[in-house]
């Protein structure tokens, strides 16, 4: 199943060669086949053919792997990473985004960068793809709900974009605003959150090399349900901090009010750093289950401070229990 491609005659290490998609999927299909036997054969075939269709939809993205910023953990199966998502614009069930995100039109797409910057910009997707060399980075993703994944993202440090717009001295925070289009996103009709989905980072967090402006995953452009066509990924924070399908990036003086913080301030703080010592009010954050890897019958794995990322220096002098 390994097909080497070398565009322009250059032998790039393709992201998909790390653990090829086919291997992820074959493993799942094999398990399914083992468990289901021949009775479920029809359903299995249908599932696999749908998968094949989905593969054709997402064009490849060539990116060089940034080994220094990549986790050594085994990537989560592509199917799991694309079929177990929180993306409330498409529904509140984990399976809703994969089912409903087909209506999202990720092209044409523009992102406007505005606020406290000297050079406000509006970029379309092609401009974003060309802004800096694409890198692949394997990051751990920890959801506030107590599960985790490992995903090979494709993008570049958000700082690449930030330096082009030249933030003014007043810029202390960066606000990310997602698309909220009722026509494309059935979940926006619900009152679960105030739309549009809004997230934010402190400027130094946004400038941290790990903060990734993300345009793809698993060597392909982002599937709709994972936040196509452009999202941010902040690996040391809970997943909801990483806004999806971004249309606006605003630099501000004041701390932006984020969607989850507005909805339930006692449960979701502005920082939302992965922190095993600060419980969510309704559950402990000390442990997590790695999707597709940890058997649900076994003990959950321990959650690491900042999800295992070395970012403590960003928070010296800050009480992380108060500023959760």
Partner 1 sequence: MTPSPKQLTVIKAAVFVLALVPLARLVWLTLTGALVEPLQFITRSTGDWTLYFLCIALAVTPLRRLAKWNWVLKLRRMLGLYAFFYALLHFMTFLWFDHFFDVAEMLKDVGKRPFILVGFIAFVLLIPLAITSTNAMVRRLGGKRWLWLHRLVYLVAPLGVLHFWWMKAAKHDLAEPMLFVVIVALLLGMRVWWARQKQANPTAQGRGQTRRV
**Is 74 an interacting residue with respect to partner 1 (CB under 8 A)?**
no
**Is 53 an interacting residue with respect to partner 1 (CB under 8 A)?**
no
Cβ of residue 49: shortest distance to partner 1, in angstroms?
16
Binding residues among 92-121 for partner 1 as defined by CB under 8 A: 92, 94
d(CA 90, CA 92): 7
Q: 112 vs 287, which CB is nearer to partner 1?
A: 287
| H or E element that contains 249 | strand 246-252
Q: Are 251 and 165 in contact (CB under 8 A)?
A: yes
Choosing from 300, 304, 314, 320, the residue that interacts with partner 1 (CB under 8 A) is 300
Structure tokens at 107: 């092209």
Q: 4 vs 299, which CB is nearer to partner 1?
A: 299
- Write out the binding residues: 85, 88-89, 143, 178, 226, 231, 242-244
Choosing from 4, 118, 169, 296, the residue that interacts with partner 1 (CB under 8 A) is 296
Q: Are 136 and 66 in contact (CB under 8 A)?
A: yes
Distance between alpha carbon 235 and the CA centroid of its chain, in Å? 9
DSSP E strands in 143-172: the ranges are 147-157
Choosing from 52, 264, 312, 318, the residue that interacts with partner 1 (CB under 8 A) is 264
- For residues 222-254, one letter each, b for 16 or more C-beta atoms within 10 angstroms of the residue's C-beta and e for the rest, the string is bbbbbbbbbbbbbbbbbbbbbbbbbbbbbbbee
**Is 168 an interacting residue with respect to partner 1 (CB under 8 A)?**
no
**Is 291 an interacting residue with respect to partner 1 (CB under 8 A)?**
yes
Binding residues among 11-30 for partner 1 as defined by CB under 8 A: 28
Cβ of residue 310: shortest distance to partner 1, in angstroms?
29
Q: Are 154 and 179 in contact (CB under 8 A)?
A: no
Q: 227 vs 292, which CB is nearer to partner 1?
A: 292
**Is 191 an interacting residue with respect to partner 1 (CB under 8 A)?**
yes
Query: Which residues, at least 6 apart from 209, have a Cβ–Cβ distance to it below 8 Å?
Result: 69, 157, 159
Helix 21-36 / helix 41-57 crossing angle, nearest 10 deg: 170
At residue 91's C-alpha, the angle toward residues 154 and 138, to 5°, is 20
Which segment (124-132, 173-181, 251-259, 298-306) binds partner 1 by CB under 8 A?
Answer: 298-306
Q: 94 vs 202, which CB is nearer to partner 1?
A: 94
Q: Is 283 helix (H, G, I), strand (E, B) or coil?
A: strand
Choosing from 35, 313, 317, 321, the residue that interacts with partner 1 (CB under 8 A) is 35
Choosing from 292, 303, 306, 311, the residue that interacts with partner 1 (CB under 8 A) is 292
* Residue 94 DSSP class: T
Choosing from 192, 203, 247, 304, the residue that interacts with partner 1 (CB under 8 A) is 192
Binding site for partner 1 (CB under 8 A): 28, 31-32, 35-36, 40, 79-80, 83-84, 92, 94, 145, 147, 190-193, 263-264, 267, 279, 281-284, 289, 291-292, 296-300
């Amino acid at each position: 199943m390994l097909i080497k491609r070398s565009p322009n005659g250059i032998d790039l290490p393709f992201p998909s060669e790390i653990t090829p998609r086919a291997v992820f999927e074959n493993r799942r299909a094999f398990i399914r086949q083992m468990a289901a036997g021949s009775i479920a054969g029809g359903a299995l075939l249908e599932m696999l053919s749908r998968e094949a269709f989905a593969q054709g939809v997402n064009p490849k993205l060539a990116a060089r792997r940034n080994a220094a910023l990549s986790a050594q953990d085994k990537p989560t199966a592509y199917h799991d990473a694309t079929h177990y998502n929180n993306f409330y614009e498409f529904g509140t069930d984990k399976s809703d985004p994969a089912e409903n995100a087909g209506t999202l039109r990720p092209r044409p797409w523009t992102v406007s960068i505005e606020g406290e910057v000297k050079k406000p910009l509006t970029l379309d997707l092609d401009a974003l793809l060309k802004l800096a060399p694409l890198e692949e980075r394997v990051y751990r993703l920890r959801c506030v709900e107590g599960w985790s994944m490992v995903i090979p993202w494709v993008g570049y440090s958000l700082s690449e974009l930030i330096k082009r717009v030249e933030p003014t001295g007043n810029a202390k925070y960066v606000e990310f605003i997602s698309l909220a289009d009722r026509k494309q996103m059935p979940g926006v009709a619900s009152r679960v959150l105030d739309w549009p989905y809004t997230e934010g980072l402190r400027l130094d967090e946004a400038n941290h090399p790990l903060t990734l402006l993300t345009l793809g995953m698993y060597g392909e452009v982002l599937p709709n349900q994972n936040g196509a066509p452009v999202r941010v990924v902040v690996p040391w924070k809970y997943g909801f901090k990483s806004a999806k399908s971004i249309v606006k990036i605003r630099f501000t003086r004041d701390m932006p009010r984020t969607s989850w913080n507005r909805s339930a301030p006692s449960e979701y703080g502005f920082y939302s750093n992965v922190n095993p010592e600060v419980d969510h009010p309704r559950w402990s954050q000390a442990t997590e289950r790695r999707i597709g890897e940890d058997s649900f019958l076994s003990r959950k794995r321990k959650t690491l401070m900042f999800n295992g990322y070395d970012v403590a220096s960003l928070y010296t002098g800050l009480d992380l229990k108060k500023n959760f």
